[in-house]
Chain A
Amino acid sequence: MDLITSVISLGFVAQVLRLMTPFYLGASAANFSERGGVINISVEGFMNLSAFSFAVISILTGNITAGFILAVLINLLFSIVFGYFTVSLKINQIVTGVGFNLFIAGLTKFLLVYIFSSSSNTPRFEGLPEFTLFSSIPFFGLFLTDYITLFCFLLIFISAYILFKTRFGLRLRSAGENPAAGESLGIKIRNYRYYGILICGFLSAMAGIWMASNQNSYSDGMIAGRGYIALAAMIIGKWKPVNIFFACLMFSAFEAFEISLQITGSDIPSQLIQMLPYFITILVLIGFIGKTKPPAADGVPY
Chain B
Amino acid sequence: MNKKTLVNLISVTLSVLITVLIVFVFLLILGKDPFEIFGMIFSEVFADGYGIGQTLFKATPLIFISCGLAVCFHASLFNIGAEGQLNAGSFVIALTALKLDFLPVPLVTISSLIFGFIVSGFFGLIPAYIKIKKDVSEVITTIMMNFVILALVNYFLLDFFAVQSTMRTEKINEELMFLKISDVLPFFDGSTLNSSFILAILAAVLTYLFIYKTGFGYKLRSVGFNELASKYLGIRTNGVILISFFIGAGITAFAGMNYIFGYKGFYEFGFSNNIGFTAIAVTLLAKNNPIGIIFSSLLFAILDYGGLSVNQLIPKELMLVVQGIIILSLLAVDKIVSNYFKEKLI
Interface residues of A (CB under 8 A from B): 39, 41, 85, 89-92, 94-96, 98-107, 109-110, 112-114, 119, 225, 228, 231-232, 235, 269, 271-272, 274-275, 277-279, 281-282, 285-287, 299
**Chain B interface mostly helix, strand, loop or mixed?**
helix
Q: Is B238 an interface residue (CB 8 A)?
A: no
A107 partner, pick from B274, B277, B321, beta carbons under 8 A: B321
Name the contact of B321 in the complex, choosing from A85, A106, A271 (C-beta under 8 A): A106
Lowest 4 A-B CB distances belong to which pairs? A103-B324, A106-B320, A275-B151, A113-B315
Complex: chain A residue closest to B153, CB-CB: A271
Partner of A99, one of B130, B133, B145, B328: B328
Cβ of B48 within 8 Å of any chain A Cβ, yes or no, is: no
Bound: A116/B297 CA distance, A: 31
Taking a contact as CB atoms under 8 Å apart, the answer to whether A282 and B144 are in contact is yes
Known: A110-B318, A287-B134. 6 other contacts (CB 8 A): A89-B336, A102-B281, A103-B327, A119-B317, A277-B147, A286-B130
How does the 8 Å CB contact mask read for B130-165 relative to A, with 1 for contact and 0 for none?
Answer: 100110110111011111100110110011000000
Dominant secondary structure of chain A at its interface with chain B: helix
Q: Is B325 part of the contact surface with A, judged by Cβ < 8 Å?
A: yes
Give chain B nearest CB distance to A231 CB in angstroms: 7
Is B71 in the interface zone, CB < 8 Å from A?
Answer: no
Residue of B nearest to A109 (CB): B317
Q: Which of B30, B148, B280, B328 contacts A103 (CB 8 A)?
A: B328
Interface residue? B284 (CB, 8 A): yes
- A-B CB contact pairs (8 Å), 6 listed: A85-B332, A89-B335, A99-B281, A103-B327, A114-B317, A272-B155
Contact of B152 with A275 in the complex, beta carbons under 8 Å: yes
Cα distance A85–B336 when bound, in Å?
11
B199 within 8 A of A: no
Task: Say yes or no: B280 contacts A106, CB within 8 Å.
Answer: no
Chain A residues with CB below 8 A from B143, complex form:
41, 228, 231
Q: List the B side residues contacting A286 at CB < 8 Å.
A: 130, 133-134, 136
Task: Please encode chain B, from 308 to 331, with 1 for each CB lying within 8 Å of some chain A CB and 0 for all others.
Answer: 000000110111111111011001
Across the interface, which residues of A come within 8 angstroms of B158, CB to CB?
271
Query: Which one of A271, A282, A285 contacts B154 once the chains associate, using CB atoms below 8 Å?
Result: A271
Closest to A293 in B: B135
B96 sits at the interface (CB 8 A): no
Given known contacts A103-B325, A286-B134, is B277 in contact with A110 (CB within 8 Å)? no
* Contact indicator B328/A41 (Cβ below 8 Å): no
Question: Any chain A CB within 8 A of the CB of B80?
Answer: yes
A95 vs B330: C-alpha distance in the bound complex, in angstroms?
Answer: 11
In the docked arrangement, what's the CA distance between A299 and B138, Å? 13
CA distance A105 to B321 in the complex (A): 8
Indicate if B78 sits at the interface (CB-CB under 8 A).
Answer: yes
In the complex, A85 Cα to B331 Cα: how many Å?
8
In the complex, the number of residue pairs spanning A and B with C-beta atoms less than 8 Å apart equals 130
> Hey, what's the 0/1 contact readout for B81-94 against A, CB within 8 Å counting as 1?
00000000000000
Please name the residue on chain B nearest to A89 by beta carbon: B335
**Closest A residue to B155 using CB positions:** A271
A210 to chain B, nearest CB (A): 22
Across the interface, B314 reaches (CB within 8 A) one of A98, A103, A114, namely A114
Q: Nearest-CB distance from B164 to chain A (Å)?
A: 17
In the complex, which residue of chain A has the Cβ closest to the Cβ of B80?
A: A98
Which of A99, A282, A299 counts the most chain B CB atoms within 10 A? A99
List the A side residues contacting B152 at CB < 8 Å: 271, 275
Which residues from chain B contact A92 at a C-beta distance below 8 Å?
331
Question: In the complex the two chains form, is A282's CB within 8 Å of B317's CB?
Answer: no
Whether the pair B315, A114 counts as a contact (CB closer than 8 A) is: yes
Decide if B278 is an interface residue (CB 8 Å cutoff). Answer: yes
A91 to B327 CA separation, bound complex (whole angstroms): 12
Using A228-B143, A228-B144 as known contacts, say yes or no to A110 and B331 having CB atoms under 8 A apart.
no
How far is the CB of B285 from the nearest CB of chain A, in Å? 11
Distance in Å: Cβ of B93 to nearest Cβ of chain A: 21
Chain A: which residue is nearest B311 at the CB level?
Answer: A113
Q: By CB atoms of chain B within 10 A, which of A41, A102, A107 has the most?
A: A102
Which chain B residues in 226-274 approach chain A with CB under 8 Å?
A: 274
A277 to B280: give the CA distance in the assembly, Å. 25
Q: Enumerate chain B residues within 8 angstroms of A228, measured Cβ to Cβ.
A: 143-144, 147
Interface residues of B in 114-135 (CB under 8 A from A): 126, 130, 133-134
Do residues B277 and A98 form an inter-chain contact, with CB atoms below 8 A? yes
Q: Which residues of B sit under 8 angstroms from A281, Cβ to Cβ?
A: 140, 144
B331 with A103: CB separation less than 8 A: no
- Residues of B contacting A106 in the complex (Cβ-Cβ under 8 angstroms): 317, 319-324
Inside 8 A of B328's CB, which chain A residues have their CB? Answer: 85, 96, 99-100, 103
- A271→B162 CA distance, assembly (Å): 15
| A98-B280 CB under 8 A given contacts A89-B336, A114-B315 | yes
**Distance (whole angstroms) from the CB of B65 to the closest CB of chain A:** 14
Kindly provide the distance from the CB of B316 to the nearest chain A CB, expressed in whole angstroms.
Answer: 8
Residues in B neighbouring A299, C-beta threshold 8 A: 137
From B134, B324, B327, contact of A285 by CB (8 A):
B134
Contacts of A90 in B (CB 8 A): 335
